[in-house]
Amino acid sequence: MPRPTTIAAVTVIVGAVLVFLLVGRTGDTPPGDDAVSTTIAPVAVEANAVVDHVVDGDTIDAIIDGTEERVRLIGIDTPETKKPDTPIECFGPEATAFTEQLLPVGTPIRIERDTVGRDDYGRLLGYVYRADDGVFVNYEVLRQGFGTPLSIGPNTTFEQLFVEAARAAETDDVGLWAACSGAER
């Protein structure tokens, strides 16, 4: 089955990553925010959904063609805050708050799928981009230290990019890398 990811979207992503690697960080971090900005030159993308609710750091509800869908961000795992019979994990509330900051309710987004479209819980699996500036949300969550890479084949298109983002966050000692001991991650 062919991937629904368009060649144009992949070209934009690859170009954006190359710009980031060649130019570096823009320093657009809001005053008083300790996060390292990885936002690159804005590149808007065409929206195909709107954020309806942020469930936690790696799961959102989105409206797609008038229907609400639960969307699990591919390739990342954030600390648990809503798993039944499980305590809230270190940096879980912060990860949820960060995703809420990136994707406020009503934000137009682009969801791109990989090979497998849904997980065992029926959630849509997606790479999520903010439409107005093209921020790659899955990547940004990792780069800012709010999650760790989680690759489940065959949905591994950005596996190496995600590993590099998490490594950079760990090196910069940001997010959960600064706040949580190794056993809690």
Q: Which residues are catalytic?
A: 72, 80, 123
Q: Helices in the chain by DSSP H: which ranges?
A: 7-23, 92-102, 137-143, 159-172, 176-179
Burial 40-75 (b: 16+ CB within 10 A, else e): beeeebeebbebbebbbbbbbbbebeeeebbbbbbb
Around Cβ 23, how many Cβ atoms within 10 Å? 10
How far, in Å, CA of 141 to CA of 95, rounded?
Answer: 8
Beta strand spans in 59-147 (E): 59-64, 67-73, 76-77, 108-112, 124-130
How far, in Å, CA of 11 to CA of 5, rounded?
Answer: 10
